[in-house]
Amino acid sequence: MKALNAVLKKASNRRRTQAHGREGILRAERGQSLIELAMITPLVLLLLVGVIELGWFAYLDILVANAARAGAAYASQGTAQATPNNPGIQGAVNYDFGTQYGTLTATSSNACGCDTGGTVTTESCSIADTRTVCGAIGPNSHWVVAVTVNVSGTFSWLLPLPSYAQFSNRFTLTKSCTMRVAQQ
């Protein structure tokens, strides 16, 4: 019986020694994990900020494109609205874009010509008698006017960046939209 107790005691001591050895390893791994977390956290945060800024840029890009489309839609209602740099076009752009992100500048221009079966021959927009001009081109030709609205705005990044020679805290977005003007 003494021999059996001695063997069991020896095995028990061996298990205790192994358990203490494992705790030391686990303690060292916990410290290593903390160091790894401390090293990777700034990189993850930088990546997150980059994704947020890219989303901000894309969002503003869509808003500016929609505002240009709204200005062109207003101008395409008729020749009275399609006059170059009509204040109503700027009003439509401002109404669509809103005021919470800044202001946009809108300019517009016209292009005129005679459409013969989908082929447009460019003419001056100051021609008074458009039927004579288009009739000379072909019997099925008709006068068309297209308006182009250019919209631009300058915006800031969400998070201020340090100003370096090649980086700026501001960026400019410019979009344009062209639509055919309805003939009345």
Whole-angstrom Cα distance, residue 137 to residue 129? 14
Tell me the β-bridge partners of 162. none
pTM reported for the whole predicted model:
0.73
Which carries the bigger pLDDT value, residue 143 or residue 10? 143
The model's pLDDT over 60-85, given as tens digits with 9 standing for 90+, comes to 999 999 999 999 999 999 888 888 88
Residues near 144 by beta carbon (within 8 Å), at least 6 away in sequence: 112, 113, 114, 115, 120, 180, 181, 183
Of 147, 152, 145, 110, nearest in space to 130 by CA: 145
The model's pLDDT over 16-62, given as tens digits with 9 standing for 90+, comes to 555 555 565 555 566 788 888 899 999 999 999 889 989 999 999 99
Q: What integer is the mean pLDDT of 4-11?
A: 66
Alpha helices (runs of H) in 76-168, residue ranges in sequence order? 87-97, 130-137
CA distances from 13 to 5, 20, 112 (A): 12, 11, 99
Q: How many CB atoms lie within 10 A of CB 52?
A: 13
Domain count of the fold of the chain: 1
Give the pair of three-digit tokens for residue 18.
């192994």
The model's pLDDT over 113-138, given as tens digits with 9 standing for 90+, comes to 888 888 888 888 776 666 677 777 77
Q: Domain of 48?
A: 2-180
